Amino acid sequence: MGKTPAHKSNPSLAEALEATANATAEETVDWAAHRFPSGGLVMTSSFGVQAAVMLHLVTRRIPDIAVIWIDTGFNFPETYQFADQLTRRFSLNVKIYQSLMSPAHMVALHGPLWEQGVEGMETYNRLRKVEPRDRAFAELGVTTWMSGLRRDQTGYRGTLRKTEPFGKILKLHPILDWSPREVRDYLKAHDLPLHPLVEKGYPSIGDWHSTVSGTGDLDDRSGRFLGLKQECGLHIPATDAENQSRDASGL
C-alpha cells in the first residue's frame, strides 16, 4: 500500500468506520498510518501496566509518531522509571504535558482533591488531565488520536467501537477487541515488560494517592480512584456537544 499524499483530506467518520470495523489491530494502525495527513496523527500513553503493547504495536509501524503523556505530577516513582525505560527502548517521540498549576499550588488552593469524594476527583481530573490533554491537542494540531482502550476494561469502554468521534477529533482503538489473554500473548511474543508495580499487586496503576492494590487480575480497575470511579476523564466526552456527536454517529 503506497502512502497517501499529505494533502489528501481526512476521511469521513463513515469511511473510517468501514475501514476499521473488522480490521485487526495491525491493520487499523497501518490504515491510519497511510490515510491521515502527516502531523495530525498521535497516540496517548499513561505508561501504565500494559503500555508496552500499544507503544510497540504502533511505533514499529509509525516510529516518529507523537506519544502524548499527560503527566499529573503525582505518578509513582516506578511509573517515571518505566516511562524512561520504554522511551529509550522504543526511541519514543514523547510529548509531555502537565497542568499549568503545579501540584503544590493545586493542593494549597484546593486541598487534597482526591480525598473529597467524586466531585473532588472530577475537579482533580479536569485540572490535571483534561486541560493538559486539550492543550496538547490544540498545540500539536491533532486530528486523529489512537489509544489502547479495551472493551472489557470498563462499562463505558464496552460501548465503544474501533472508531468514534471525539469532538472534532477522530479516535481509534486498535486493540479494543483484545482479550486479556491476547494482551499477555503479545507481551510474551515480543518480550515486553509490564509496569514494575504489577509484581507488588497493582493490576491498574494511576496516581500514587488514589491507586491501591487490587485482585491481581491485570484488567481489574477497582483499585483506581479509591474505588469511586473507573474512568479518569480523558476518554469520556466532556461536553454535551461531544456526546451529541457520538450519539449522532450511531456509536
Task: Say whether 175 sits in a helix, a strand or coil.
Answer: coil
Known catalytic residue at 199: no
Residue 141 grid cell: 494540531
Degrees, nearest 5: CA angle 60-66-67: 80
Q: What's the rounded Cα separation, in Å, for the pair 230 and 149?
A: 13
Question: What one-letter code names the amino acid at 11?
Answer: P
77 Cβ contact partners less than 8 Å away, ≥ 6 residues apart: none
48 Cβ contact partners less than 8 Å away, ≥ 6 residues apart: 79, 195, 204, 205, 206
CA nearest to 43, candidates 59, 22, 21: 59
Task: Say whether 148 sits in a helix, a strand or coil.
Answer: coil
The one catalytic residue among 17, 58, 68, 232: 232
Catalytic residues, which ones?
A: 232
